[in-house]
Structure 1
Amino acid sequence: MQLGPAAARFAAGLAALWPAEEREGRALGLAVSGGPDSLALLLLAAEALPGGIAVASVDHGLRPEAAAEVALVERIAGALGVPFTPLAVTLAPGNLMAGARTARYGALARWAGEAGLGAIATAHHADDQAETLLMRLNRGSGLAGLAGVRPRGVIEDSDVTVLRPLIGWRKAELAAVVAAAGIVPAEDPSNTSSAFERARIRAQLAAADWLDPVAIAASAAHIAEGWQALEWYAELDWHEMVLREESDTAAPGFTYCANVPRVIAIETILRIIRELGGHATRAEAARAWDRLWAGENASLGGVLAVPGVERVEKVGVPMRVWRFRPEPARGSVN
């Protein structure tokens, strides 16, 4: 099967995310579930990158049909002459969707490392992006969340690049690619189950024909550009306004001259917490900023932050100075 213009469109989008000079002769790994979106990813990549891809399919152990879906992907990959690897994961207790996502990306990162792949590609598309943005708007997410799914990123806790070359495609376009190949894709019932927030949003989005998923996805991309600018400013704030302090008698800490907008200071606070070996969410860092700005101590991620006002030599005027130290060990109660 020759996909022609569709494969050329895919190749151009992939090149923008993953330039040829970055590839170093390494294959692109594809995460393929057996659904129409990821099967379209496989078909497009097989034509655009002949001999340059590998495929993995993850069984989360949640549904008895999953094994047959993995087998479907293996058959199609075999027919295309594409190397295939089945991956199985075990989910930890807790949020089902979040746990599945974490386990899936962890397995894909390990596969990429073992196989020497250059990057992993997933089949996220414009409809997915629109759903994500609407879900996060409904939750009151900040800018980092409203930026949606990034076209290019890194899998958490790894150095593996993840690419989403279909982020500008509609779901219907991808389904048409699979249908033209004469393939009947697998359908995950969770995609239409009202038990899941994304499925409920998806149904509402489909019913609202006045909403344009491509335009919504473009808005997420614009927000992502704004977020990238804020990250750049936060990096500057870190180097210009944060001082590491060593001590012979106490644990090392950081002094932060807080003189930037709240959204940027939150990123700097998060970085300070990480540097001191702690962990905090953006929501926790935002609450800490509120307390510090009001002149109150804040504790998060095992770190105590104490606010003050000092004359800062490099600035030449009094300003807010916040000192961060690991929290003292709590004494035992007798």
Structure 2
Amino acid sequence: MPSAAPDAADVQRFTAALQRLTGRDAPGRLGVAVSGGPDSMALLLLADAAFPGMVEAATVDHGLRADGAAEAETVGRWCADHGLRHATLRPERPITGNLQSAARTARYALLEEWRVARGLDWLLTAHHADDQLETMLMRLNRGSGVGGMAGVRGRSGVVLRPLLDWRKAELAALADGAGMPVAIDPSNADPRFDRAAMRARLGDVDWLDPVAATRSAAALAEAEEALDWLSDRIAAGHLAASGAGWVLTDTDYPREVQRRLVLRMVALADPAASTPRGDTLDHVVATLRAGGQASLGDWLLRGGARWTIAPAPPRRMVGDRAGGEAEGTDGAQ
């Protein structure tokens, strides 16, 4: 049975958000990621009402829950009743390891493959203001910087999140009012997962405003973009190849800009190297500011008027004159 249409005001609110994110009055063809929960079902309802004939949906069945297949079928039936094309996507290999992280990686890979195959311009996900607040608090608890505290971005490449200024309760009411079938994923309340534990702690907190937090996250995202722009401009003018490494010829910048310049040096020297973060990166920057030298994996960075990165010299092996074992210079002497 077809669901009731959403209010015109809600559709206009959604349309305006999507137009802001894309910079287009007519965003193009939209792919909607739909788990079957109230948030994503409400997203699908709004997208179809705002841009009829331009929407397709996909549900990822990770194979982690017995109900996953049935929930995908429910979404598929709703789409069929409303003339929408729907696909159920499944990973080729079982999800293992850190389940939430691995499932997220597999999900976005499957959705992007589907988006490209279907010729869709954008992929929409149902992240909302309550999700944003949870993300910010989790990252605050980990000591994140500007980029981390910017939280979930409204736009990441072709991925759009037009519901970041909507509350979870609003979306649930929208889906309920339209008579949509919704599924409840029990893992969303499983305290073994960090986000679920944070969600439970926020359940009785009424003095934190998720929508205000979303505005703060957006401001931090703009600050992050500005810092990256500045760092790119500096790198373009003052970071050059030097032998097997790189040299930064102008280093007199605020510490946060210096952090970003060091990251660019490491990435240019070794694109496959892991990105230094947190205390490791802070230690390197402090050492270079003091004119010292610091090692990062196979690379040696030196401070001073100019900062350089070059392959670290091989460990000097000291042989025992009497024929004993050789040992590295950093071993017990």
Query: When the two structures are superposed, what TM-score results if normalisation uses the length of structure 2?
Result: 0.86
Question: Which of 247, 250, 272 is the equivalent residue of 1:254?
Answer: 247
Residue number in structure 2 paired with 1:306: 302
Residue number in structure 2 paired with 1:290: 286
Q: Is this contact kept in 2: 1:255–1:321, CA < 8 A?
A: yes
User: Does 37-46 or 178-187 show the bigger shift?
Assistant: 178-187
* Superposition map of 1:174-213 within 5 A: 174-213=171-210
**Cα distance in structure 2, aligned partners of 1:84 and 1:73:** 8
Amino acid at match of 1:7: V
Deviation at 1:224, TM superposition (A): 1.7
User: CA 1:331 to 1:122, structure 2 compared with 1: closer, same or farther past 3 Å?
Assistant: farther
Gaps of 5+ in 1: 155-160, 310-319
* Superposition map of 1:43-82 within 5 A: 43-82=45-84
Residue number in structure 1 paired with 2:110: 107
Tell me the secondary structure at the aligned position of residue 203 of structure 2.
helix
* Superposition map of 1:149-168 within 5 A: 149-154=152-157, 161-168=158-165
Deviation at 1:117, TM superposition (A): 1.4
Matched, 1:116 2:119: yes
Question: Which of 28, 31, 38 is the equivalent residue of 1:29?
Answer: 31
**Cα distance in structure 2, aligned partners of 1:233 and 1:56:** 39
Matched, 1:275 2:271: no
For residues 4-51 of structure 1, give each alpha carbon's deviation from its aligned partner in whole angstroms, at most 9, with x where no partner exists. 21111111110110133784xx41111110110000000000110111
User: Does 183-192 or 94-103 show the bigger shift?
Assistant: 94-103
Q: Is this contact kept in 1: 2:74–2:181, CA < 8 A?
A: no
* Superposition map of 1:109-148 within 5 A: 109-148=112-151
User: CA 1:51 to 1:327, structure 2 compared with 1: closer, same or farther past 3 Å?
Assistant: farther
Question: Which of 302, 307, 312 is the equivalent residue of 1:322?
Answer: 307
User: CA 1:54 to 1:265, structure 2 compared with 1: closer, same or farther past 3 Å?
Assistant: same
Matched, 1:237 2:234: yes
Deviation at 1:267, TM superposition (A): 1.5
Deviation at 1:282, TM superposition (A): 3.0
**Cα distance in structure 1, aligned partners of 2:17 and 2:47:** 11
Tell me the secondary structure at the aligned position of residue 20 of structure 1.
coil
For residues 108-140 of structure 1, give each alpha carbon's deviation from its aligned partner in whole angstroms, at most 9, with x where no partner exists. 122222222111110000010011111111111
For residues 226-263 of structure 1, give each alpha carbon's deviation from its aligned partner in whole angstroms, at most 9, with x where no partner exists. 22221222112212321222x4xxx2433353221121
**Cα distance in structure 1, aligned partners of 2:202 and 2:293:** 44
Q: Is this contact kept in 2: 1:29–1:56, CA < 8 A?
A: yes
Tell me the secondary structure at the aligned position of residue 207 of structure 1.
coil
Residue number in structure 1 paired with 2:329: none
Q: Is this contact kept in 1: 2:247–2:306, CA < 8 A?
A: no
Q: Is this contact kept in 2: 1:244–1:255, CA < 8 A?
A: no
User: CA 1:211 to 1:255, structure 2 compared with 1: closer, same or farther past 3 Å?
Assistant: closer
For residues 269-303 of structure 1, give each alpha carbon's deviation from its aligned partner in whole angstroms, at most 9, with x where no partner exists. 22222222233143243332123223332232543
Q: Is this contact kept in 2: 1:273–1:301, CA < 8 A?
A: no
User: CA 1:143 to 1:75, structure 2 compared with 1: closer, same or farther past 3 Å?
Assistant: same
Residue number in structure 2 paired with 1:313: none
Tell me the secondary structure at the aligned position of residue 289 of structure 1.
helix
Residue number in structure 1 paired with 2:11: 7
Deviation at 1:329, TM superposition (A): 6.4
Q: Is this contact kept in 2: 1:37–1:175, CA < 8 A?
A: yes
For residues 87-123 of structure 1, give each alpha carbon's deviation from its aligned partner in whole angstroms, at most 9, with x where no partner exists. 1124664322222211211221222222221111100
User: Does 271-280 or 8-17 show the bigger shift?
Assistant: 271-280
Residue number in structure 1 paired with 2:321: none
**Cα distance in structure 2, aligned partners of 1:47 and 1:329:** 64
**Cα distance in structure 2, aligned partners of 1:60 and 1:302:** 38
**Cα distance in structure 2, aligned partners of 1:144 and 1:115:** 32
Gaps of 5+ in 2: 318-324, 327-333
Q: Is this contact kept in 2: 1:91–1:103, CA < 8 A?
A: no
Deviation at 1:322, TM superposition (A): 1.1
The structure with the larger Rg is 2
